């Protein structure tokens, strides 16, 4: 397939072979050192950093350069939780070989899939689950990890990611999947703070069609005042990886938050788009920008003393 003709629905069972070779490994050696450096004292503070990114590994054009760029971004930000979409087995192997500080959970064993990466010195996995979407035609699902955080007085978190059905014509299936996501968010244990991040492929009118967000679930971008600079995560007016001849600017990638009923709380402080710089190969890392979100862990003094 060509650079500008990709459609994930067409390639579910035709995943490209990932071009990893000796030269690639040599190029990644410096990134390997960066990824495994000790976290700074600031990274051990009472903040949670979440990075969500559709990394578009279905597109193999300049993939070695793009994976190097991706790993550089991972090393730069050292996010506590990384949520990935459009990961493929070959790319997963490279990330696992280099990102030794992370525990990997994947949404599937083959094809292209989602993954949750948990930084081992910050987050402890309790259990994980994969929820199938019964009517998907693209192999999509919801990946869930229940974790305990070392910086949040051990309070439980529920981390979720998904890649909702692609293409405008699949709106009804996408909304069916979104309802299922919201259901799992709402039904998570009350003592868990729930964070969902992923490529939702949503248009704003689709959310309005469902009557807006359910009570208790918040859109993190909206919580932060709808900053224009972090709105459009799929922006063909700047990103030309797909060579689309006209400009399309959409907020496909979103973060949802549901607070725990009581106890410690997460308060979003910032959201930044990353991957905005072109690489030397004249490509961006992905056709999507990544979302880097920082949340403050707020614990009352009474709760801190009791625990």
CATH numbers and ranges of domains, the chain? 8-303 (3.60.10.10)
What are the tens digits of pLDDT across the range 89-107?
999 999 999 999 999 999 9
Has 199 been annotated as catalytic?
yes
Amino acid 246: pLDDT: 92
Q: At what angle do helices 89-98 and 63-77 cross, to 10 degrees?
A: 40
Question: What is the reported pLDDT for 289?
Answer: 98
Q: What is the pLDDT of residue 13?
A: 44
Q: Which residues of the chain have pLDDT under 70?
A: 1-44, 300-307
Distance CA 81, CA 195 (A): 10
Among residues 68, 72, 65, the alpha carbon closest in space to that of 37 is found at: 72
Give residue-wise pLDDT tens across range 191-240: 999 999 999 999 999 999 999 999 999 999 999 999 999 999 999 999 99
pLDDT of the residue at 228:
98
CA 144 to CA 44: how far, in whole Å? 24
Token digits of residue 20: 């990893």
Burial of 246 (0-12, 13-18, 19+ CB in 10 A): exposed
Q: Give me the catalytic one of 56, 59, 101, 199.
A: 199
């Amino acid at each position: 397939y060509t650079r500008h003709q990709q459609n994930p629905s067409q390639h579910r069972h035709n995943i490209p072979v990932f071009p990893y070779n000796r030269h690639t490994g040599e190029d990644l050696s410096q990134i390997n050192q960066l990824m495994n450096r000790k976290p700074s004292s600031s990274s051990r503070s009472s903040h949670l950093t979440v990075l969500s990114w559709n990394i578009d590994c279905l597109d193999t054009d300049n993939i070695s350069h793009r994976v190097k760029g991706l790993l550089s971004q991972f090393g730069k930000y050292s996010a506590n939780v990384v949520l990935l979409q459009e990961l493929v087995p070959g790319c997963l192997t490279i990330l696992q070989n280099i990102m030794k500080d992370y525990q990997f959970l994947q949404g599937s064993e083959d094809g292209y899939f989602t993954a949750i990466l948990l930084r081992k010195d910050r987050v402890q996995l309790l259990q994980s689950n994969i929820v199938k979407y019964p009517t998907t035609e693209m192999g999509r699902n919801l990946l869930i990890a229940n974790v305990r955080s070392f910086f949040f007085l051990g309070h439980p978190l529920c981390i979720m990611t998904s890649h909702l059905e692609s293409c405008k014509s699949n709106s009804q299936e996408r909304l069916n999947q979104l309802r299922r996501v919201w259901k799992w968010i709402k039904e998570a244990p009350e003592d868990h703070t729930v964070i969902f991040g992923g490529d939702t492929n949503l248009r704003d009118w689709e959310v309005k069609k469902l009557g807006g967000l359910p009570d208790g679930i918040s859109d993190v971008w909206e919580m932060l005042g709808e900053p224009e600079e972090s709105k459009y995560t799929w922006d063909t007016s700047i990103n030309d990886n797909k060579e689309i001849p006209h400009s399309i600017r959409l907020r496909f990638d979103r973060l949802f938050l549901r607070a725990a009923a009581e106890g410690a709380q997460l308060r979003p402080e910032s959201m930044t788009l990353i991957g905005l710089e072109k690489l030397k190969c004249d490509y961006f890392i992905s056709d999507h920008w990544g979302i880097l979100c920082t949340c403050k862990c707020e614990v009352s003094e009474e709760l801190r003393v009791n625990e």
